[in-house]
Amino acid sequence: MIKQADIKDFKNIKKMFINFANSAPVDYLHNPKYDDDYIDQIFYGIVKKGVLLYAEQQGKPAGFFIAVPTPDLWLPHVPPVLREAAWWVEPEFRDGTIGGKLFMKYQQIAKDWKDKGLITGHTMTLMEQSPDIKLDKYGYKPIETIYYAE
């Protein structure tokens, strides 16, 4: 089951978010100590204005997908870009369809918002350890590469 998250799902998403952070290729994200109230406020804001998808399978939290509309710093009059901020599937569910279903639900929402003029476009980010997903099949084109230095 995949749905737009609500307050009842925040606790499970926060637990999975720790797994997400611990899998990041940068050490400062590992073993995060989140302020629950702060994260809840972030999630409330995303639910109101963005995408916070929650997936369950076999009665267990299985994954989430987060995207936020981001205005252009230089062209604030242009509709925002919907930017993927986090996409996670719990390891035990990675051989299934949850990841693809989360992605396709995001695609559907982004297309709907674009058709309504709410966004200019939408993005996807693939991390170094991400599966080799051919995003060009879905209309994406590469526009930048991000490097990180400690």
Check which CATH number belongs to the domain holding 85 and give it. Answer: 3.40.630.30
**Residues in the chain where the model's pLDDT stays below 50:** none
Q: What is the pLDDT of residue 115?
A: 98
Q: What is the pLDDT of residue 26?
A: 86
Is 148 contained in some domain? Answer: no
End-to-end CA, the chain: 39
Placement of tokens 């609500």 in the chain: 6
pLDDT in tens, 7-40: 999 999 999 999 999 988 888 899 989 899 999 9
Q: What is the pLDDT of residue 150?
A: 83
Is 147 contained in some domain? Answer: no
Is 143 contained in some domain? Answer: no
pTM here is 0.92
Q: What is the pLDDT of residue 89?
A: 96
Domain count, the chain: 1
Q: What is the pLDDT of residue 129?
A: 65
What is the C-alpha to C-alpha distance for residues 3 and 99, in angstroms, rounded to an integer?
A: 13
Full residue range of the structural domain in which residue 16 is found? 2-138
